[in-house]
């Protein structure tokens, strides 16, 4: 399975990794979310403390491909807990994996900053309930640090 392993050790294996965090809706809800469903793990709900991770399975990795932006990420499966900390404010939230995403490869090299601190590439997507704990939903995209919780 050469597709699922990148030549470098995963960036999040030894310590926190910095990247961009966004939010997504899930669970059959209103608006464009109506067709989204419960996510790859079958448990995703916008109101729950959950997130999407780009490497939950081989099939997931084949879609998100963070390695094409030069980022290796560890395989973490449904229910695994990550802590996402907003850079600058230091506010953090712990969530459990409920879906596959974001599509890191489609936004390679994108950068978000707050103050003088910046982070590259989309590495995690939080549910609205989780994202709104660390930033306003209207921000849409923020730099963050991700670690295993």
Partner 1 sequence: MHGIAASQPYVIAVFLIWAGLMKLLSRRMRAQAGQTALARLTGATRAVPALRLVGLVELAVAAALLLPPVHPLDGVAAALLAAGFLAYLSYAYVAAPTSSCGCLGAHSRPVDLRAFLRAGVLLAAGLVAIGAGPYPPLAPLVLLEVVILLGLSAELDRYWLTPTRRLLVRLRRPLAALPPGDVPLETTLHLLRRSPAYCSASARLTSDVRETWDEDGVRFLVYGARERSAVFAVPLAGDDPAAIRVALVDEAALA
Partner 2 sequence: MRSRRDLLKSAVLGGGAGVVAATALGSLGPEAAFATTAPAIEPGTPDPNFAEGRIRSIKENTLLVLGSNMVFHTIRVVDGTSLWKLGPVGFDQAKPGDGLYARGVRMPDGMLAAEAVWLNIVNIKGHIKNITSQTIHLDHNGHEVLCHVVAGKSVAIHSESPATSDLSMLKVSQHVQILGAWRPDTNEVDIATVFSPH
DSSP letter, residue 145? E
User: C-beta of 40: minimal distance to partner 2 in Å?
Assistant: 13
E strand or H helix at 128: helix 128-134
Closest approach of partner 2 to the CB of residue 81, in Å = 5
User: What is the rounded distance in angstroms from the CA atom of residue 73 to the CA atom of residue 22?
Assistant: 17
Q: Which two tokens stand for residue 4?
A: 């699922």
User: Which two structure tokens, joined as six digits, stand for 95?
Assistant: 């969530």
Answer yes or no: are the C-beta atoms of 68 and 108 closer than 8 Å: yes
Please select the residue that binds partner 2; options are 23, 60, 67, 142, rule is CB under 8 A: 23
Among residues 17, 33, 18, 24, the alpha carbon closest in space to that of 99 is found at 24
Residues of span 39-58 touching partner 2 by CB under 8 A: 43, 45-50
**Does 14 sit near partner 1 (CB under 8 A)?**
no
Instruction: Name residues contacting partner 1, limited to 21-80 (CB under 8 A).
Output: 35, 59, 62
Among 13, 89, 106, 149, binds partner 1 (CB under 8 A): 89
C-alpha–C-alpha distance, residues 81 and 14, integer Å: 16
| CA 131/CA 133 separation, integer angstroms | 5
Name which position in 1, 2, 14, 32 contacts partner 2 (CB under 8 A): 32
* Residue 93, SS3 per DSSP: strand
Of residues 72-91, those binding partner 2 (CB under 8 A): 79, 81, 89-91
Provide the binding-site residues for partner 1, judged by CB under 8 A.
35, 59, 62, 86, 88-91, 113-117, 135-139, 142
Provide the binding-site residues for partner 2, judged by CB under 8 A.
22-25, 27-33, 35-36, 43, 45-50, 79, 81, 89-92, 94-96, 98, 102-103, 106-111, 113, 118, 128-130, 132-133, 136-138, 140-141, 149
């Amino acid at each position: 399975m050469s597709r699922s392993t990148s030549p470098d050790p995963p960036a999040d294996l030894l310590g926190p990794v910095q990247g961009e965090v966004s939010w997504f809706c899930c669970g059959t809800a209103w608006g464009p979310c109506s067709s989204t469903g419960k996510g790859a793990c079958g448990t995703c709900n916008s109101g729950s403390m959950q997130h999407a991770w780009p490497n939950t399975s081989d099939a997931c990795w084949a879609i998100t491909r963070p390695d094409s932006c030069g980022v290796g990420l560890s395989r973490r499966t449904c229910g695994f807990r990550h802590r996402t900390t907003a850079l600058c404010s230091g506010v953090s939230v712990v969530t459990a994996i409920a879906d596959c995403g974001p599509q890191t490869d489609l936004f390679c090299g994108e950068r978000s900053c707050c103050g003088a601190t910046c982070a590259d590439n989309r590495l995690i997507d939080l549910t609205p309930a989780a994202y709104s704990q660390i930033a306003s939903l209207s921000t849409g995209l923020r730099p963050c640090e991700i670690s295993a919780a």
